[in-house]
Structure 1
Amino acid sequence: MKQVKILGTGCAKCNQLADAVKAVIAREGIEASVEKVEDIQRIMAYNVLATPALVVDEEVRCKGRVPGLDELKDLLNR
Structure 2
Amino acid sequence: MEIKVCGPGCASCEQAQKIVEAVVNSKGVDATIVKVTDFQEMAQLGIFSTPAVVVDGEVKCVGRAPNQAEVEEWIS
TM-score by length of structure 1 reads: 0.92
Structure 1 runs (4+) greater than 4 angstroms displaced: none
Query: What is the alpha-carbon distance in structure 1 between the residues aligned to residue 5 and residue 66 of structure 2?
Result: 13
Query: What is the alpha-carbon distance in structure 2 between the residues aligned to residue 76 and residue 37 of structure 1?
Result: 19
Which amino acid letter does the alignment assign opposite residue 18 of structure 1? Q
Which residue does 2:52 correspond to in 1? 53
Aligned residues: 76
Which residue does 1:19 correspond to in 2? 18
SS state at 1:48 partner = coil
Gaps of 5+ in 1: none
SS state at 2:64 partner = coil
TM-score by length of structure 2 reads: 0.94
Gaps of 5+ in 2: none
